[in-house]
Amino acid sequence: MTRLSVNINKIATLRNARGGNNPDVVRTALDCESFGADGITVHPRPDERHIRRSDVLELKKVLSTEFNIEGYPSREFIDLVTLVKPAQVTLVPDSPDQITSNHGWDTVQNQSLLTDIIMEFRNAGIRTSVFVDADAKAVEYAAKAGADRVELYTEPYATMYPTDRDKAIAPFVEAAKAARSCGLGLNAGHDLSLVNLQFMKQQIPWLDEVSIGHALICDALYMGLETTIEKYKQCIL
């Protein structure tokens, strides 16, 4: 079964635009769970421009589904994650001022760094996923670093999908096969949508999890959150 983790960063962005607590990030996360989401993803950045440290702490108290915290493994981030102990941490190679994730780790050049960080999370009982491009070598070196899973960065797939979906998915299938051969779990995320999600699931049926935020929240503006989550879940049956 492929699980849907809803990234609620955009809810926090909207809240922060006016101050106060509207929309309520915690309430939205609980609603996502009640509407069928299998997990909640957050990405607390150093400048707290969307998800705040306080949000992470409050969410941990109330979530009943899988909690996934993603981010660059600075010391501050590592300390927050080991304090909260989510089910999963996803390591991304973002710089502090980056608008959004736009590439995966160079797991060869960062082998030592990743190995040490993954060991720290493993000792804390936290499953670790490494954000990688659709490249078999990157997947293999994530496995060598001790990762439990990889998350495939799917923006290139989403960009090419409208013109040639078979060509778009090909490198992701190969990377997914590499993950399976290495014994890694497999996640995917970034620019996945109701347009392209079902085809990815059909071509890579062993996907463990998709993490989706921007497109899902945009769709919810028109269809409502409950209906939108139902439609995304139907794509990954």
Active site residues: 43, 70, 190
Q: d(Cα 227, Cα 49) in Å, to the nearest integer?
A: 28
10 Å Cβ neighbour count for 171? 17
89-103 CB burial, b ≥16 within 10 A, e <16: bbbbbbeeeeeebee
Q: d(Cα 1, Cα 205) in Å, to the nearest integer?
A: 8
- Among residues 60, 63, 14, the alpha carbon closest in space to that of 220 is found at 14
DSSP lists the bridge partners of residue 90 as 70, 129
- What DSSP character marks residue 206? T
Q: Which two tokens stand for residue 143?
A: 């496995």
